[in-house]
A and B are shown apart, each in its own frame.
Chain A
Amino acid sequence: MNGTGTMEAAPAGAAAVNDGYLLEVENVRKEFPGVLALDNVQLRLKRGSVHALMGENGAGKSTLMKIVAGIYTPDTGTFKLRGEDIRLKGPLDALEHGIAMIHQELNLMAPMTVAENIWIRREPLTRLGFVDHGEMRRKTAALFKRLNIDIDPDIQVGTLSVANRQMVEIAKAVSYESDVLIMDEPTSALTEREVDHLFTIIRALREQGKGIIYITHKMNELFEIADEFSVFRDGKYIATKASTEVTRDDIIRMMVGREITQMFPKEEVPIGDVVLSAKGLTLKGVFTDVSFDVRSGEILGIAGLVGSGRSNIAETVFGVTPSDAGTIELFGKTVRIDSPATAMKHGMAFLTEDRKETGCFLLLDIQENTQMAVLQSGYVKNGFVKQKHLARDSVEISQQLRVKTPDMAEPIINLSGGNQQKVLIARWLLTKPKILILDEPTRGIDVGAKAEIHRLISKLAGQGVAVIMISSEMPEVLGMSDRIMVVHEGRVTGFLDRAEASQVKIMELASH
C-alpha cells in the first residue's frame, strides 16, 4: 500500500501543473543521531483546505512540520510552494515565504505583553524608529476582533491561562497572513467551547483560501474539521485520503498497523472500603466546599472544563497547595496533608498534568527518573542508595509497563510522550501507592500507548488501589470511571454513576 501510493504520486506530481496545490513536499528524509525520524515521506496541501496529519507519537509528524517551518533542515527532500521550488534557510525564511507554525509546546515569552508577543520582530515603528506601542495595541485589538478573541493586548502573557495563551499563539500565527498555517495539536489545552471557537477561526481561514496543516490525536476533530488527512507511522508515509471516505477504525488501523479492539479495557472489580474521604475542602479563590469519597478498587473520574479547579483539587489532596479549610480522612483517620511528602507517607501518588513542567527531569535518564519518588521511603541504607537493588526493581517495573527503550541510561527527553508517561507511572508504582491520583494520564500520547495505560489503570484498581483520574477527554472519563465527579467554577456540581453517566449529562453539570 505504501509502495503503490508513492509510485502513483511521483508521475502525477511531475506532469500535473499542481492545480490547487499550495505546498508539495516530496522525498523528505531526516535522520537524528540513532533514529531515522523521516523516511522518504511526502505531503501535498491543497489551497483552501484543512489537512490533518495523523499518527502515533514518534511517527514523525512534528518533525516533518518543523522541517516545513524551517526549524529543522532535512537531509533530503524537495519543497514546492505555490508551484515554485523553495529551500528554507530557517524559521525566518519560512515566515517570509508565508509558512507559519503554531507549536505544540507553547512558544511565548511569558514576561512580555500579549501585543509584544504577537508583533515581535514586526513591531510597528514611528518615523523616528521607536516602537509605536499605541499602533501595536490597535493592531492587536483589530486582530483579536477579527478572530473574536477577548484578551487584553497589554496584559502579561505569563498571567494568562494556558487556553488563552494558546489563543494568543493562534492569533500570532494568523497575524503573519501566511498561506500555510501549521497547527501542532492546538486543542490539547482547550475546552470544548474553545475548540469550537478555534474551529470557527480555522473554517474562516479555509474560506480565505489558506492551507492549514493540522496535527492531532483526536479522531473526532479529524472528522469535524479536516478535508483530507495523511497518516504516518514510524517515520514512514502511509496514505492520504479524504476524511469523508474512511471510518474511525480505518484510521486507527493505518496508524497503528494493527487492530485495537478495546479502547477502554475497564474491568469490573470488587470495590472495597472508603480509603480517602475529603470533607469541605476549600482553597480560597480556587475551589470551595469540595467533598468526595474514594474506595479501594474504585476509579473516581473528575470531569470539568479546564480552569474549573479540577487539577487544583488534586494538588490540594496531594499537599502541593494545602487547603484553607476542610479535612481529609485517610483510612478512617483525619490527616493534615501539608506537603507532598506527607501525602506520600500515607500511600498517595500523583501523576501531574504537565509531563514536561512538573513530571520529567528532562536531562536525567530513565533510571534516575524512575527512582525519584521512592528514594523518600526506601532503598536507602546508612545514607547510601542501594542502587543495584533499586535498578533491578526499576527495570522490572519498566518492563511490566512496556517502556520502549534500548536501556535505562537513555535520557528521558529522547523518549516519545507515551513512553515518558509510562516512566512517570513507573516512578509512582515503585512507591506501591494505595491511592493513585492521575491528572490527564493520556494527554498527548498515541492510541497504542493510551490503551496500554488504560489497561494498566484498570489492573491497578483490580489490585485494590483507589484511583482518582482527571481527564478532559470525555470518552476516557466515561470509559474508565466507576463514578464521575463533575466540577464547575471551583464547586462540585454533581456525581454520576457509571451506568447513568453520558457526555450530555457531564456537559450539563460542567457548564451552567
Chain B
Amino acid sequence: MSTNEIASPANVIGSKKRLPPEVSILGVLIGIAIVFEILGWIFVGDSFLANKQRLSIIILQVSVIGIIAVGVTQVIITAGVDLSSGSVVGLAAMVAASLAQTSANPRAVYPSLTDISPIWAILAGLGVGLIAGTINGSLIARTKIPPFIATLGMMVSARGLAKWYTLGQPVALLDDSFTWFGKSFNILGFPLPLPVIVFLLVAVIFHIALGYTRYGKFTYAIGANPQAARVSGINIGGHLVKVYAIAGLLSGLAGVMTAARAASGQPGMGVAYELDAIAAAVIGGTSLSGGVGRITGTVIGTIILGVLTSGFTFLKVGAYYQEIIKGIIIVAAVIIDQHRQNKRKKA
C-alpha cells in the first residue's frame, strides 16, 4: 500500500531536475569501500567486500547506532540536538534486561518477575526511552532552554539512573525468548540479524513519515524557520515534544536490541553512541542548522561508520589509530559533501 505512495510521480518529477543530495554521500561510501578493497589486496591479500560474513557484521555493528540516528536525524532537522541517546540506551537496556531474567538466576533483580513473556521487557525498554524523550521535549518546549542543555542534563541523569538501578551490577542470565531478538536469520542465504531488520524497518517508516506526512513537513518547517512555522499556525512546542519523544523511543528500542544481543544489561552500555548517531546524520547530509536532512542519507552515513570500523579491523589497524583516522574521515566526508553541494548550487 504505502509503496504506491513512495513511487507517486511527486518525487520522480522532482528528482529529474536535480540528483538527490544522497548521491554524493553514496559516492563517499563507495569510495571508502574501494579504498579498503585495494588496501586489502595489497596488505592482507584478501578481498574486503567479497565476504558475506563481513558485510553482515558491518551492518549489524551499526544497526543499533542506526536506529538511534534515525531519531537523532529528526531532532537535528528541527535545529535541535539529542545528547541523551547513549545514556537512554544504557538505562533502557538495564530495565529491559531486569524483566527478562530466567529463574535460574539466584540473584535476579525481580525474583518474582522471572521467566515472563519478553513483551514486558520490550515494552519497559521502549517506555523508558519514550519517557526520557518526552521529558527532553517538554523541557525544551516549555522552558525554552536550548536542546543542548536539556538533553545534556538527561544524558547525565539517565546514565546515573542506569548505574543506580542495580548499584552498578550487570543484569545477566536472560531468557532465550528475549535474546532471540538479537539473533540472526538466514534470508536468501544471507545471514541477517534481527537488529538489522529492525533498523531497516525503522528507517523505512521514518523515511516515509518525514517525506510524506504532515509530521515530516512540520519537522522540516520548524527547523527551516521557526517564526514562519509559527505564523503558519504550527504548534511548535507540541511538535517538538513529539520529535524528541520519538527520538527517545528509538533510543529505548536501541537499548532493548543491545541487551538482547549481549544477553545482558550493563550500566555502561551505549556510552558515546549519541556522538556516533550525530556523526551518521551529519555525514548523511543533515544540517546542524536545521531544515535539511533525509533518512536515506543517515542510513548511508551509518553504513560509512560501519565500513570504517570493519575496514580498519580487516587491515589490522590498531584501535588507537582507528579512532584518530575515524575522526579525520568524518570531518573530511562532510567537507567533501558540502563542497560538492555548493558547486551544484552555483551551477
A residues sitting closer than 8 Å to B (CB atoms) are 69, 71, 90-92, 95-96, 101, 103, 107-113, 116-117, 120-121, 123, 125-126, 128-134, 136-137, 154, 159
Query: Which of B1-9, B193-201, B302-310 forms part of the interface with chain A?
Result: B1-9
Give 1 or 0 for each of B227-256: 1 = CB within 8 Å of chain A CB: 111111111000000000000000000000
**Smallest Cβ distance from B220 to chain A, in angstroms?**
6
Asked whether, in the complex, the Cβ of A130 is within 8 Å of the Cβ of B232, the reply is no
Interface centre among B208, B212, B235 (most CB of A within 10 A): B212
Given A109-B229, A111-B224, verify A121-B234 contact (CB < 8 Å). yes
Q: Is B217 an interface residue (CB 8 A)?
A: yes
Residues of chain A within 8 A of B8, CB atoms compared: 132-134
A117 to B224, CA, bound (A): 11
Asked whether, in the complex, the Cβ of B228 is within 8 Å of the Cβ of A126, the reply is no
Asked whether, in the complex, the Cβ of A109 is within 8 Å of the Cβ of B225, the reply is yes
Residues of chain B within 8 A of A123, CB atoms compared: 214, 217
Interface residues of B in 181-234 (CB under 8 A from A): 208, 212-214, 216-218, 220-221, 224-225, 227-234
Pick from B212, B214, B225: contact of A110, CB below 8 A: B225
A242 to B216, CA, bound (A): 47
A103 to B234, CA, bound (A): 16
Asked whether, in the complex, the Cβ of B213 is within 8 Å of the Cβ of A121, the reply is no
Pick from B1, B217, B292: contact of A120, CB below 8 A: B217
**Smallest Cβ distance from B221 to chain A, in angstroms?**
5
Residues of chain B within 8 A of A120, CB atoms compared: 217-218, 221, 229, 232, 234
Asked whether, in the complex, the Cβ of B231 is within 8 Å of the Cβ of A71, the reply is yes
Chain A to chain B contacts (Cβ below 8 Å), 12 pairs: A71-B231, A91-B232, A107-B232, A109-B225, A112-B220, A120-B217, A120-B229, A121-B232, A123-B217, A125-B214, A130-B212, A136-B10
Asked whether, in the complex, the Cβ of A131 is within 8 Å of the Cβ of B231, the reply is no
Q: Is B14 an interface residue (CB 8 A)?
A: yes
Residues of chain A within 8 A of B212, CB atoms compared: 130-131, 133
Shortest 9 CB-CB contacts between residues of A and residues of B: A133-B10, A92-B233, A109-B224, A107-B228, A111-B291, A130-B212, A109-B225, A91-B231, A130-B5
A131 to B232, CA, bound (A): 17
Asked whether, in the complex, the Cβ of A112 is within 8 Å of the Cβ of B224, the reply is yes
Residues of chain B within 8 A of A69, CB atoms compared: 231
**Smallest Cβ distance from A468 to chain B, in angstroms?**
27
Interface residue tally on B, bucketed by range? 20 to 34
Residues of chain A within 8 A of B220, CB atoms compared: 109, 111-112, 116
Asked whether, in the complex, the Cβ of A112 is within 8 Å of the Cβ of B221, the reply is yes
Q: Given contacts A107-B225, A111-B220, could you give 10 more A-B pairs where the C-beta distance is less than 8 Å? A: A107-B227, A107-B232, A109-B229, A120-B217, A120-B221, A128-B2, A130-B213, A131-B212, A134-B8, A134-B10
A110 to B224, CA, bound (A): 6
Asked whether, in the complex, the Cβ of A133 is within 8 Å of the Cβ of B11, the reply is yes
Asked whether, in the complex, the Cβ of A134 is within 8 Å of the Cβ of B5, the reply is no
Q: Is B345 an interface residue (CB 8 A)?
A: yes
Asked whether, in the complex, the Cβ of A129 is within 8 Å of the Cβ of B213, the reply is yes
Residues of chain B within 8 A of A95, CB atoms compared: 232-233
A125 to B10, CA, bound (A): 13
A134 to B225, CA, bound (A): 24
Secondary structure at the B interface, as helix, strand, loop or mixed, is helix
Asked whether, in the complex, the Cβ of A131 is within 8 Å of the Cβ of B213, the reply is yes
Q: Is B17 an interface residue (CB 8 A)?
A: yes
Interface centre among A90, A91, A130, A133 (most CB of B within 10 A): A130
Asked whether, in the complex, the Cβ of A130 is within 8 Å of the Cβ of B2, the reply is yes
Residues of chain B within 8 A of A130, CB atoms compared: 2, 5, 208, 212-213
Asked whether, in the complex, the Cβ of A109 is within 8 Å of the Cβ of B228, the reply is yes
Q: Is B167 an interface residue (CB 8 A)?
A: no
Residues of chain A within 8 A of B13, CB atoms compared: 137, 154
Pick from A91, A103, A111: contact of B233, CB below 8 A: A91
Pick from A91, A116, A134: contact of B217, CB below 8 A: A116
Residue of B nearest to A91 (CB): B231
Asked whether, in the complex, the Cβ of A109 is within 8 Å of the Cβ of B10, the reply is no
Asked whether, in the complex, the Cβ of A110 is within 8 Å of the Cβ of B291, the reply is yes
A132 to B4, CA, bound (A): 12
A134 to B229, CA, bound (A): 22
A116 to B292, CA, bound (A): 14
Given A130-B2, A133-B8, A133-B11, verify A103-B291 contact (CB < 8 Å). no
A107 to B224, CA, bound (A): 10
Asked whether, in the complex, the Cβ of A128 is within 8 Å of the Cβ of B5, the reply is yes
Pick from B214, B224, B225: contact of A131, CB below 8 A: B214
Residues of chain A within 8 A of B227, CB atoms compared: 107
Residues of chain A within 8 A of B225, CB atoms compared: 107-110
Pick from B1, B9, B217, B231: contact of A101, CB below 8 A: B231
A159 to B230, CA, bound (A): 22
Interface centre among B13, B214, B234 (most CB of A within 10 A): B214
Asked whether, in the complex, the Cβ of A126 is within 8 Å of the Cβ of B231, the reply is no
**Smallest Cβ distance from B59 to chain A, in angstroms?**
28
**Smallest Cβ distance from B335 to chain A, in angstroms?**
20
Residues of chain B within 8 A of A101, CB atoms compared: 231
